[in-house]
Every structure is written in structure tokens, then in C-alpha cells.
A and B are shown apart, each in its own frame.
Chain A
Amino acid sequence: MERRAFVKRIRDELAGGDPDGSTCEARPCVAPAAPLYGRSVEELQTVFLARQEELGVEATAVATRRQAQTAVGQLLDERPWSLVCSPDLSWPSIEERRTEHTAAADFGLVQARWAIAESGTIAVDTADGEHRATSLLPPAVGFFLPLSRLVPRLGDLLEKLVETRDSLPACITMITGPSASADIVGVRVVGVHGPGEVHVWLIEDE
């Protein structure tokens, strides 16, 4: 159906019904204030890391990016794994393990944009050359998360997105734990389609 006719049909139905009590144009003030805890960075960090443990995510707080990179290097050597990540994120010592072929990579490394302490959620997006498939196709995925990017609640994250809405990336993905499903007889299994193994390095000086 043509757009105008489609919308008109809706408008006519709405006009036919009794008018709503609140005919004001203003969008309703929504979320109740729900501070589960204070907002000190230490507290947020503690809650976030506790959530990761509950979710079965390997999360480590490190002082610098250098340390995080060293940890990734060790992980890759142990398994041994191939790595996919954006060129901006990469560093010399792992270049030999890096592959462009995401579908065949063992481990995807992604720069996290934001994280939510309350739910233990990590937000990534498609800005700065980050690919969606990097945190999706490999069976294992890791995130570099600057501590300064940790916010208390979902509402805080949404506020940040609103602030930068003019440059909203094509895809923002919020990730909470490994891919999971209980569709088979109610038993929780991980790594159904997305990554089953998740690592997070919380970089304290960023």
C-alpha cells in the first residue's frame, strides 16, 4: 500500500477512538531512577567483573593496554589460535597470527565502545573500521574495554548514544555473555551460533 494511504488508515482509526487522556505532544518521562549502587568507578568495576563471572566470561582488570595485549598474545600462543581484528586495533607481535578471513578465525578481538555495569553488557559498533563479524563468527571473542567507558545502567548508555546521534553507527551491538540457548529441553548450551567463549580485558588507565 502507498505510504500516505497506509498512515491515513492508522490516523483514521485513532481519530475514531476516544481521545487519549494525555493529548500532549511531549514524550512521556520514562524510567524510574533505579540506582542499585553508587557510581564510584571502583564500585562499577567490582559489579561489572562480578557479572562477567556470573555469565561465564573470562574478565581481567589490567593496568595498561600493553598488559592486555600481552595477555592476548599469551592466549593465542597457548591454544594456538588465529586472530581477526581491525587493523587499528592490531599490534606488531600478533600480526603473524592475524587473518583477514573472519569465517575461519579462531578468535575475534574487538574494541569495546561502552559497557554497562548493572547487566555486565559490552557495547561495540561499526565505527572506526570495526566489523560486525569479528565478534560474531569466531567461536571465541575478546574485548578491550577502557575503564572510563563503564557506565552504571542501560539508561546511561542510551544517553551517550543520544549525545552522539548525529554520527550513529550503522550497527551497535550490546553483548552480554556468550551466545546461549535453552531451546533444547530447557538445558542451557553456549556457543549456539555466536561465540561460546568470551574474554574481557578491562583497561584501567584508559
Chain B
Amino acid sequence: MAALAKLQRAAHLAEIERTLGDPVLQQTIRTRQDNRRCLQQQAAAELPDWQAWKEAVASLRSHTLTHLDAYLEEFADNLERRGGQIFFAADAAEACDYVVRLAHAKEASLIVKAKSMLSEEICLNPALAAAGVQAIETDLGEFIIQLAHERPFHILGPASHKTLEQICELFRELTPEYLPPEPQALAAFARRYLREKFLSAEIGITGCNFAVASEGAIVLVTNEGNGRLCSTLPPTHVVLMGIERLVPDLSGLDPLLTVLPRSANGLRATTYMQIISGPRRSDREDGPRELHVVIVDNGRSHILGTSYRPILHCIRCGACLDNCPVYRNIGGHAYGAVYSGPIGAVLTPLLEGIDSSAHLPFASSLCGACNDVCSARIPLTDLLLDLRRDVVAQRLSGRGWELGMRSFAEITRHPDLWRAAVRLARLALKPWVREGFIRRGLGPLRRWTAGRDFPAVPPKSFRALWRRDADAS
């Protein structure tokens, strides 16, 4: 485990260096963030009671999770009543196993997939590939990163780090026809290429934005139409759903579908919002003959029972990523997992185990911008602080830091010791002082001075000056 942690941390730091050293990528991330912040703010400003809407989302999510067991049962009963089939997957392995077995049962050689972060979390595609089933991503961004064999760079925009030339090159590998490096032309190619996949696939797999307990219905929120195609054309539709996706009833969709499109894309509504309750009702209709909903736990129930429960309120709007100054500089890959940004920094250690991602909670300045924009008012920085506390309590961080903090704490309990320490620091740093500042330091100071000057310790501390003034008067 320790070896894995070291590898993860090394990869994390390497990715940070790489991203910081790529001026084109830096500009891409910043421009995208600026654009999205602008759109989000405009959409929020249009609703005078925006905060109240987010409060409604927060309290709805909190209520739902508190009674999750009951809503889950209600959902299952209603889904089955409407002709759907349910599978309860305790973990990633069970979920993948079910889908693979279903694919074999349907003799499926081709599966079309709409965007599902959960499917990436459980590593579904590799499991299908190992079983000889080809799964093609149809969301434009996911399609691109599938071709590039990369993780998503952003929860909503998985290929947002790719340049036009890079995308063009990836597409050119699929066809002999000439493709100009132009967005509309590339999108048109993707449409043509994937359209025949939709028409021939035996199974369509989608994620699930929300699951309505009172109706046994699943809700899909998309913009491109690939979600609709995956859930309409193939004879079998498989939905991958995290347990926390539940909503009590249809009216509960109001705050969720009012806030999500605005926080995510600055839209009043996404292009397509589907409420699907069961497979086709009769042969008069089109649509899948079978609907399978795979409800996945994979560590979520454990989070429910801890003080980290609020992280499950997340509705995957991505606003925290768009407003995070750290994400702005390091991008999504540096988080080393499916979920990146503030949500990823909290969720990944909780889902994957804090030992392998002990560094993530510390890769934040705790500025709180994420808290402000969170659709569900999740106290993300509080959760990050709690995780940091857990990391230290489990002795997963460098001992040096902990000892340093403890020593400092002891010094601060004794004003005399503190005075002496300040005096010592003044003396020790004196050789490096130029014009009142230190440009090159040792130890922890060296990391600071790599990029910034550090102020010299003034000849007299505040306390000394205060005493001097008091004596004088």
C-alpha cells in the first residue's frame, strides 16, 4: 500500500509539473474557466432567489440520504412494476460482472456508452474489453479521450485539455478521408462515425443523473443527444446508478433541474432531459425492450455513516472545478483519478482509500471558492480539513510536518520561548538578508524563496516596540 501511495504521489507531482510547464494548456484551462464562470454567474443572476434554490437542493439531498434505504426500496419496487430489471452491485467487481454477463447473454459484440463517470470509476470498459466486448464512448468528449487512452480532464468536459490539432490527429486514425482542423467538421465526422454504431449496437449503457423513487424512473440530463440514442436505439438499455442519485418524487426534480444546468453550463435547461420509466410499454412504441438498472454502492454506503456524508449531496455540476484556483493551474489529470477538482479531492480518498491519495486533501489553499458555487452547498473546505485531520491521525503524512507543528505549538504556549525563537530566527536569517528581504533560504524557507522574496525578521518585534512605547509614556 505504501508503495502505491508513493507512486500516486509521484505521478501527482509529475503531472503538476507537466501542466504548469505547458503554457498552451495553462491558457486553455484559464480561458475555459473564465468562460464558464461568466456563464454560470449570468445564469445564477437571472434567478433573484438563486441561493434559495441551492438551499432547496441541499435540504432535498440531505433529506433523501437520511432516508436512503426507504427511497431505494421504493425505487426498486416501482421500477420493477414498470418492467425494469434491477441489479444491486455492492462494488465495482459485481457491477462489471453483471454487465459482462448480460453482454454475453445478449451476444453483444458492440456496446454504445453515453457519459457515465460511474462507469469509469468501476473500470467498466477494461472489463468489457477483457471479455471480448467493444464499448464505444459516444459523448464527444469521452469519445476523444477514449481514442487518446486518457482519463477525463474535467467532470463535464473530459477532453477540454485537447487542442484542435490533437483531436484532428486522433480522428484521422479512424478514417482515410480528409478532416480539416475545424470544430464543426470534426463534430460532423464524429456524428457520422458514431451514428452507425448507435444503429448496430446490441446494448446501450448510460449513467443516471437522478432516480425518482416514487415512479421508478431514471433521469438523464445531456446536451448532445448521444444519451438519447444510447437509451433509445439498442434493444437493451443498461443504466449505471450510484446509490446516492435518488430523488423522492417528481417535484423533487424541480430544484435539481433548475440548479444543475445553470451551475454546470450557464443554461436554463440542458438540451435534453429525459424521464425514463421502464422499457417500451408495447410494440407500438420504439425504445429498448429491456431496461436494466445497476445500482452501485462501491464505498458510498460507508461514506453515509461518517461525517463525510455531505459529499454525497453532489449533483456533478462541475462548478467547483470551474472556480478552483488550484484546478486552474494543475488541471484534472493531476488529481490522478476519475473525479478531479475539489469534489475529486474529497471523494477520491473516501472511495479509493485515504492511504493512496493522502496528498489530495493538501493540494488546496482552502480558499473556499468551491463552497460559494457548490450547487448543493457542500462545505467542501471543511471536508478537506477533516480529511487532513484523518491523514495526520493515521500517520500518512510526513512525520516531519507533524513534529514541526507540535514543536511550534509548544513554543506558542510560552511567550518567553516564543520571544527567544523569534530572536533566534532573526539571527539565523541575518546572513541572507538583502535590503530587508531574503531571496534565498534554507529548509522550508528554500521552497518559499524559490519563487518569492521573504521578509527579514525586523530588529524589534511588535511586543518589544509596544513595551518601549509603554515605557516611554
Contacts and interface: CB of A to CB of B under 8 A. Distances in A.
B211 to A, nearest CB: 14
Contacts of B281: 126, 169-170
A200 to B, nearest CB: 14
Interface stretch (B45-53, B340-348, B428-436): B45-53
B319 interface: no
Contact of B285 (A131, A161, A177, A186): A131
B229 A136 contact: yes
A193 B225 contact: yes
A148 interface: no
Given A27-B248, A27-B252, A181 B73 contact: no
Interface string A100-144: 000100000000000010111100001001011100100000000
Contacts of A16: 305
A10 B273 contact: no
Nearest to A167: B281
A41 interface: no
A1 B271 contact: no
B157 A119 contact: no
Given A11-B69, A154-B258, A34 B223 contact: no
A194 B224 contact: yes
Contacts of A1: 88-90, 94, 297
A169 B158 CA distance: 33
B12 interface: no
Contacts of A25: 67
B287 interface: yes
Interface residues of B, number: 103
A132 B188 CA distance: 22
Contacts of A12: 305
A108 to B, nearest CB: 12
A20 to B, nearest CB: 4
A155 interface: yes
Contact of B47 (A34, A121, A158, A165): A34
Interface SS of chain A = loop
A168 interface: yes
Contacts of B251: 30-31, 155, 158-159, 162
Interface string A143-165: 00000000000110011011001
A170 B83 CA distance: 10
B250 interface: yes
Contacts of B69: 7-8, 10-11, 14
B88 A179 contact: no
Interface string B61-95: 01100111100110010000010001011100010
B76 A3 contact: yes
A78 B94 CA distance: 55
A9 B73 contact: no
Interface of A: 1-3, 6-14, 16-17, 20, 22-23, 25, 27-28, 30-32, 34, 36, 51, 103, 116, 118-121, 126, 129, 131-133, 136, 154-155, 158-159, 161-162, 165, 168-187, 189, 191-195
Given A126-B280, A158-B250, A179-B224, 17 more contacts: A14-B69, A17-B306, A28-B59, A30-B56, A32-B53, A103-B199, A119-B269, A120-B268, A126-B281, A158-B253, A170-B281, A180-B224, A183-B158, A189-B187, A193-B226, A194-B224, A194-B229
Interface of B: 28, 31-32, 35, 46-49, 52-53, 56, 59-60, 62-63, 66-69, 72-73, 76, 82, 86, 88-90, 94, 138-141, 144, 157-160, 162-164, 167, 183-184, 186-188, 190-191, 194-195, 198-199, 214-215, 217, 223-226, 228-229, 231-233, 243, 248-255, 257-258, 267-281, 284-287, 295, 297, 301-302, 304-307, 309
